[in-house]
Structure 1
Amino acid sequence: MSNFVFVLDTQKRSLNLIRPGRARKLLTTGKAAVFKRYPFTIILKVEVTATPEPITLKIDPGSQTTGIALVQGEKVLWGAELNHRVETTLTWAKKLTKFAPINKIVQELVRFDLQQLENPEISGFEYQQGTLFGYEVREYLLNKWDRKCAYCGVENVPLQVEHIHPKTQGGTNRISNLCLACEKCNLKKGAQNIEQFLAKKPEVLKRILSQVKRPLKDATAVNSTRWALFNRLKETGLPVSTGSGGLTKFNRPRLNLPKTHWIDAACVGQITSLKLLTNQPLLIKATGHGTRQMCRTDKFGFPSRYVPRLKFVKGFQTGDIVKAIVTSGKKIGTYIGRVAVRASGSFNISASELVSGISYKYCSIIHRKDGYSYAA
């Protein structure tokens, strides 16, 4: 299932997203034209009187990849994964509000809800009984203990929540009495007191006891970038609500959904159910608009060849998506892909494989370079 298609009316106002099949029918019957290739948007050629249903933009920020989803009620209509630089998430949020009738934004702001960890009574029975509470606790402990076993320091193995002071000896379930341990250390410690278990490792004992007392450095949010994005999103004028990473992790397995960035975005915040109407997100990568480098260099850093000052050649620039229909010569065929221009007018096109020596006369623009590369 492909992503739904964005639709604009004759006044360039956003309408409801439609299925790809319906968009193809509108295009083939001449009732619409392609307005933008990425994200795929059509513009109607005839007046319509329709009231679009509101859509929620959901964002799951990540250190390298940010998940984006458009949700209408319980239906996920469109998804994307943005391999980004700092400002690109905000750029795409603003871009999507132009093409879809978005009336609110939901962002994953914090990895865990610290207030609910400290006072779980505020969230009712489900939270107290450990379903959602367990996800918030684990997310907090993973960040506090650097995703390592507190006793042996092993990484990249399944970790278990461990009571530092055993419950059999009066230990509680308070966050300050919990750490993470691998299965081997957890079984080895059993119901022993930590001082007894680490009697021969005083340095480890000292480190654990000091780390238990130390609060998480960034308790209200894992990083300042999420807060900066949150504050910038409020500038759009749309209502912005937030959810925790623990809540996202709770929602996804409850709904039996796979782990991907864009599905995580759809699971952000309070939801009861989700219906995926797409399984093919748009993959977006920020590539920039080139460099100001005046020459190419070899592996030692010495100039090796000249770079022309003019970016455009015959109306094309490197990075444009073009369609080339070659009608004569050895390379007869149709090629669609990213173009690399040469001053001679003989271009290279990166499609499924590199095709070199295609004359500009056979090329037509599909999508102008906009600083991003796209894949489905």
Structure 2
Amino acid sequence: MRVFVLNMRGEPLMPCSQRKARLLLKSNKAIIYKYNPFTIQLAYATGEAKQGCRIGVDTGSKHIGLAVTSEDKVMWKAEVELRQDVKSKIDKRRMYRGNRRYRKTRYRKPRFLNRKREPKWLPPSLQNRVNHTFHWIDVLSSLVPNPNLHIEVGKFDTAKMINPEINGVDYQHGQTYGFYDERYFVFARDNYTCQCCGKSKDKILNTHHIIYRSNGGTNRVDNLITICTDCHTSQNHKKGGILYKWQEQHKKVTQYKESPFMNTLRRRIFTAYPDAKITYGSETTPKRKDMGLNKTHYNDAIIISGINDINENDEEWLLIKQFRKKKRSLHEATARKGRKKPNSSQVRNSKNTPYYKGFYLNDKVVVFGKSGYITGFTSDGAYIKDGDDNYITLPNKNYKQVGISKMKFECHNNNWQYIVKTTV
């Protein structure tokens, strides 16, 4: 990957090679502007011949592909993992706040003045992904000269994905149209037959959630199945029971929540970036196959950028993941391992400390010649994971803690992890 360069006034210049960046830094002709994405700033006046740079963005609900190209060169490529846990974190916060009103603590009155929503309001889980998509587009646009933005968006017809033969007035009717409720629709779909034992006569039928609601399952008919009362028992619901095993076997229940998000994101991209060139997946896929690139998000971004011939494409690429630096709640609903009683006195556990002896959570450090990230602290050490999410431990030792004295600081990373990968 190439290194982003800024002039003395902080304006972007053409990215340079890693070797040239090292020479400039060693000769004190440049300083490190920021580590991620790695950017240097020149300390002397220089010529400012600039070529056009193209930024390719492969949008998605779980991953974003990013690439910077110029003429026939791929200068930088990356893949961003978007957060998928926002809704579960908000649900947990709601539970803690509700429980707190019934304990002998400071009473938190319900609020009703915060119910008004803005005209373009989105649920927090969707707004978070929209914000991060726009954030990385703006970051790259500020680091390259004369950026020419190319964005791939998605347009989906969710009703036709469920029923390809839908037409006309059928769009106004849901899957359960004509049935008393979802329960009777599930029975009719399954031919009034228990899907566990296969019997239908003289049996009382129930509807069963394939993925339990406590594990994130929904009340949608795709997550419901017909079960008789003989099979729908508490024993079968427990771990090891046949219904519990279904939860793992049928984990991939058809979901359509990504399609509405992509439609929403597309409309907001039109508003936020009116000068961007918009493409669709039907155009990207054949071009990528013609150029012999594998199916990855950053390779899609390379094609989206509009490049026609590739003569320079480094094997290195950047994986960017968001890191949650600390748990927000001081209260613990259940006692943590090692505690004899719940933490009701609101004292932070040492593993939940955001910094210790000059080191912060998510700092990049070097231990035993390996580079990793601090994921937690102990009484006199830290837990460190590498880019593959494996603990870095002492040689020939089983415990995971590493002493502070054995860590060498590299850089702060705030809430993002930047992992350099190599194409296989």
Q: Same fold (TM over 0.5)?
A: yes
Distance 1:77 1:37 in 2: 17
Which of 71, 79, 94 is residue 73 of structure 1 equivalent to?
A: 71
Q: Partner of 1:320 in structure 2?
A: 363
Which of 307, 311, 315 is residue 349 of structure 2 equivalent to?
A: 307
Distance 2:297 2:375 in 1: 31
Cα distance 1:230–1:58, how it changes in 2: closer, same or farther (>3 A)? farther
Distance 1:334 1:224 in 2: 46
**1:91 correspondence with 2:135:** yes
Within 5 Å, which residues of 2 pair with 1:282-297? 282-294=318-330, 297=334
Distance 1:41 1:219 in 2: 36
Cα distance 1:361–1:38, how it changes in 2: closer, same or farther (>3 A)? same
Within 5 Å, which residues of 2 pair with 1:20-169? 20-85=18-83, 86=129, 87-111=131-155, 144-145=160-161
> Which residue type is aligned with residue 272 of structure 2?
R
Distance 2:297 2:51 in 1: 25
Shift in Å, 1:318: 1.2
Cα distance 1:27–1:106, how it changes in 2: closer, same or farther (>3 A)? same
The answer to whether the Cα contact below 8 Å between 2:69 and 2:307 also exists between their aligned partners in 1 is no
Give the SS at the match of 2:14.
Answer: coil
Shift in Å, 1:264: 0.7
Which of 380, 383, 389 is residue 348 of structure 1 equivalent to?
A: 383
Matched pairs, number: 269
Give the SS at the match of 2:277.
Answer: strand
Within 5 Å, which residues of 2 pair with 1:254-273? 254-268=290-304, 272-273=308-309
Q: Partner of 2:246 in structure 1?
A: none
Give the SS at the match of 2:76.
Answer: strand
Give the SS at the match of 1:248.
Answer: helix
Query: Cα deviation per residue 1:342-374 (whole Å; 9 max; x = unaligned)?
Result: 474533333474245555456554221321122
Q: Partner of 2:183 in structure 1?
A: none
Q: Partner of 2:99 in structure 1?
A: none
Is the strand fraction higher in 1 or 2?
1
Query: Cα deviation per residue 1:172-215 (whole Å; 9 max; x = unaligned)?
Result: xxxx9xxxxxxxxxxxxxxxxxxxxxxxxxx9xxxxxxxxxxxx
Cα distance 1:63–1:276, how it changes in 2: closer, same or farther (>3 A)? farther
Query: Cα deviation per residue 1:113-155 (whole Å; 9 max; x = unaligned)?
Result: xxxxxxxxxxxxxxxxxxxxxxxxxxx9x99456x9x7xxxxx
The answer to whether the Cα contact below 8 Å between 1:27 and 1:33 also exists between their aligned partners in 2 is yes
Cα distance 1:220–1:145, how it changes in 2: closer, same or farther (>3 A)? closer
Unaligned 5+ residue runs, structure 2? 84-128, 168-190, 192-257, 394-399
Q: Partner of 2:176 in structure 1?
A: none
> Which residue type is aligned with residue 11 of structure 2?
R
Give the SS at the match of 1:226.
Answer: helix
The answer to whether the Cα contact below 8 Å between 1:82 and 1:285 also exists between their aligned partners in 2 is yes
> Which residue type is aligned with residue 358 of structure 2?
G
> Which residue type is aligned with residue 307 of structure 1?
N
TM-score w.r.t. structure 2 length? 0.54
Unaligned 5+ residue runs, structure 1? 113-139, 151-163, 165-175, 177-202, 204-217, 325-332
RMSD: 3.8
The answer to whether the Cα contact below 8 Å between 1:111 and 1:245 also exists between their aligned partners in 2 is no
> Which residue type is aligned with residue 55 of structure 1?
C
TM-score w.r.t. structure 1 length? 0.60
Cα distance 1:269–1:281, how it changes in 2: closer, same or farther (>3 A)? closer
Shift in Å, 1:270: 5.3
Distance 1:362 1:275 in 2: 43
Q: Partner of 2:237 in structure 1?
A: none
The answer to whether the Cα contact below 8 Å between 1:251 and 1:271 also exists between their aligned partners in 2 is no
